[in-house]
Chains A and B, each alone.
Chain A
Amino acid sequence: MTDVGIDALTYWLPASSPTLEELEQRGAVRGAAALASFGFRQARVAEADSHVDMAMHAVRALLDETGTPPDEIDLVLYAGALTSSSTMETAVCPAGSVLHMREFMDFFKYPVSRLQSEFDLTSASVAGIDQQGCAAIFSAIRFARATLLAEPDVRTVLCVSADRLPHDASREVVYNLVSDGACAMLLRRSRRNRIVATHQVTKGAFWDSGSLENEIIAAYFPTARTVIETTLRKAGVALDDIAWVIPHNVSLRSWEILLGLIGCPREKLFSANIGRVGHTIAADNFINLRDAADAGLLRKGDLLLLFTFGYGLNWSCMVVEH
């Protein structure tokens, strides 16, 4: 089998980073003390940029950094968690809610088409991936890998993910502090950040997330363990072989519990960004992957475990060889 890897990766975060106290004063969180005890310090808030703006910032940085000619990109997969992330924002809808779109045709203003146009990705076909909460980008990577393995003429896939909460939304979601942000990455037939295995479990029974909050919290842990164990088995590796766990930035406390469940030492968790970045819906694991690499923590050949969870409900995991 040909190897497929994340050949290049960037992210974009808004500059605005209010603290928990500031967010509480704004009414954006209610339980600042509990959030602090769960490991959060500040959120990233896109004051002026839309989710499409953030996606473009991330893609521009990626193309500039890698010097990738636009026509090298054969496929663009745009992942979003929020339903509003799969459409453009309009003048009457600065918060991006599809429920407030003025014109019928506004529903067909797709961010991924805008990206293709903006960056002159004329060789690329495009698709949107959503309805998987924070796990959408994992699916984008999975489908990108499958396409690269199945279609010889596809050589480079651009995966993009961006989400921004509406301005008036609470940033406290099920004991987590939610940030805005975006990531972009190029997948190629490459051994750089080679994707060893992926696994996803969906439990549609929990589709009505608002009415099942306690059941969802209860379902999260045992299913997370099963998904991680299954991914490791598919990768043919043991937990001891994993050098780093690259998390989604849900509460540090929940990670400590999950690490206890799977029997993983706390030291293997790259947790530096949970406090300072918060939980970006779209991009946590890949912000963390980039920062861990930039910090010199990752050695070539290190096996990394990436795990995330999205409403829907979806549990997604992958093993990556750095």
Chain B
Amino acid sequence: MALTRHQPRTILVTGGTGALGRDLVRRFASAGDASVVVLTRGVSTSAPSVTLPGVSRLTGDLRAGSTLGISPGDHAALRGSVTDIVHCAADTVFNRPLPDARATNVEGTRALLAFAEECPNLERVACFSTVYVAGRSTGCFGEGDIGGQDGFVNSYEQSKAEMEAVVRDAMARLPITLYRLSTIIGDSRSGAVSGFNAVHHALRLLYQGLAPMVPGQESALVDLIPVDFAAAASHHLFEHAFSAGATYHLCAGQASSASLGALLDATTAAFERHRPAWRKRSIARPALVDLDTYELFVRTVEEARNEVLLQATRAVQAFAYQLAYPKIFDARHASAVLAPAGIEPPHVLYYYDAVVRWCIATNWGVAA
């Protein structure tokens, strides 16, 4: 749907220095038809996305409320000029204390939408969420479904589900669309990882031989997407097929996902391929176990007060508990729009090896 414009576009992007945000900023900027304002908290100001032509940076903080933590003058100017808001900012740490996760993901979104209601020229808003608002539910989770009925695996999921409730409430007053992302693991072309998350942390523990077991079933599908797909898909939906009130799943789906067993095999194969010395360490593929067994192991590590294994199990726990609740994400609405445009998620095994290689080569972003 093409919008008729009466004034220059100004796109406010939150989280514009993050893995997805910087790709989106680059796409908006390269189109050349809009000013892009990246709201940052003052970190990563040298990120490429905020140094592009047509992109300006505004230091603020969504947790400051509807002032966005910016000066009154900037606030007034932004309020008058903004036509589009793309809300990528989020606290994506899976096991953050819930109040902290809520502060950014729920209250930060509430503040941004309150700001949006003050913008007279606003035409559209995109809010990014996660398909894992499905929480502990199993089976098929659709774009029209609201998750969480069976509880959540971590504070990230819960805070994003609560964020969605805020967004849905605001949909009555604002032109908002919701994009639920799957877990982003890297770039499908280069394997580059611009934001290491819980999946990469779990990979690192596997590499170090500190992950004896993972809760889940061999055949359970793991939904992962590359950042370039997430950016291309959301950019296309926002720019060429905006639909207020709609929710889209940007995920791999059944066709482009691999089973947990296949991913573990691909992981060890990649370790051996890209670090032949790793094979000599005789590190076993983690055992796939039921949740009761995994929790018994976690409890044992806690009672033993083994700090290294405790940190390792908690890191795996934050991500891998979701694997114990197998589910498939239905993305038919998104696919109906994206497939004709040639935007489809590549199969995870097509680029997974490159991502693992990147992790090894960069030592997971940690200086050696």
Contact = CB atoms under 8 A, between A and B. Distances in A.
Interface string A194-220: 000000000111100000001101111
Given A205-B282, A261-B287, A218 B305 contact: no
B309 interface: yes
A16 to B, nearest CB: 27
A175 B290 CA distance: 23
A220 B213 CA distance: 10
A257 B280 contact: no
Among B281, B287, B305, which residue has the most Cβ atoms of chain A within 10 A?
B287
B221 to A, nearest CB: 22
Given A204-B282, A215-B283, 16 more contacts: A31-B304, A34-B303, A34-B304, A38-B300, A214-B312, A217-B212, A217-B306, A217-B309, A218-B210, A219-B282, A219-B283, A221-B213, A222-B213, A223-B284, A260-B293, A261-B287
Report whether over half of chain A's contact residues are helix, strand or loop; otherwise say mixed: helix
B284 A257 contact: no
Interface residues of B, number: 28
6 contacts: A205-B280, A205-B282, A214-B306, A222-B213, A222-B284, A222-B287
Given A37-B303, A205-B281, A260-B296, A222 B309 contact: no
B302 to A, nearest CB: 10
A128 B367 CA distance: 48
Interface in B157-199: none
Nearest to A219: B284
Interface string A102-126: 0000000000000000000000000
A24 B210 CA distance: 30
Interface string B194-221: 0000000000000011111100000000
B75 interface: no
A34 B300 CA distance: 9
A221 B289 CA distance: 11
A226 B210 CA distance: 17
Closest 3 CB pairs of A and B: A260-B293, A203-B282, A222-B284
B326 interface: no
A254 B297 CA distance: 8
B210 A206 contact: no
A253 B284 contact: no
B280 A261 contact: no
B311 to A, nearest CB: 10
B284 A254 contact: no
Contacts of B209: 215, 218-219
Interface of B: 208-213, 280-287, 289-290, 292-293, 296-297, 300, 303-306, 308-309, 312
Contacts of B212: 217-222
Nearest to B285: A222
Interface string A220-249: 111101100000000000000000000000
A47 interface: no
Interface in A158-213: 175, 203-206
A257 B297 contact: yes
Contacts of A205: 280-282
B303 A218 contact: no
B367 to A, nearest CB: 22
A226 B284 contact: yes
Contacts of A49: none
A264 to B, nearest CB: 11
Nearest to B279: A205
Contacts of A261: 213, 287, 289, 293
B282 A206 contact: yes
Contacts of A38: 300, 303
A260 B209 CA distance: 21
Interface string A21-42: 0000000000100100110000
A309 to B, nearest CB: 13
A268 to B, nearest CB: 16
Contacts of B309: 214, 217-218
A257 B306 contact: no
A256 interface: yes
Among B283, B284, B306, which residue has the most Cβ atoms of chain A within 10 A?
B284
A178 to B, nearest CB: 16
A217 B289 CA distance: 16
Contacts of A221: 212-213, 287, 297
Contacts of A206: 282
A253 B296 contact: yes
B300 A253 contact: yes
A254 B300 contact: yes
B293 A257 contact: yes
Nearest to A223: B284
B290 A260 contact: yes
B289 A215 contact: no
B303 A257 contact: no
Contacts of B290: 260
Among B208, B280, B281, B305, which residue has the most Cβ atoms of chain A within 10 A?
B281
A256 B294 CA distance: 11
Nearest to A205: B282
Among A31, A215, A220, which residue has the most Cβ atoms of chain B within 10 A?
A215
A215 B210 contact: yes
Nearest to B313: A218
Contacts of A37: 303
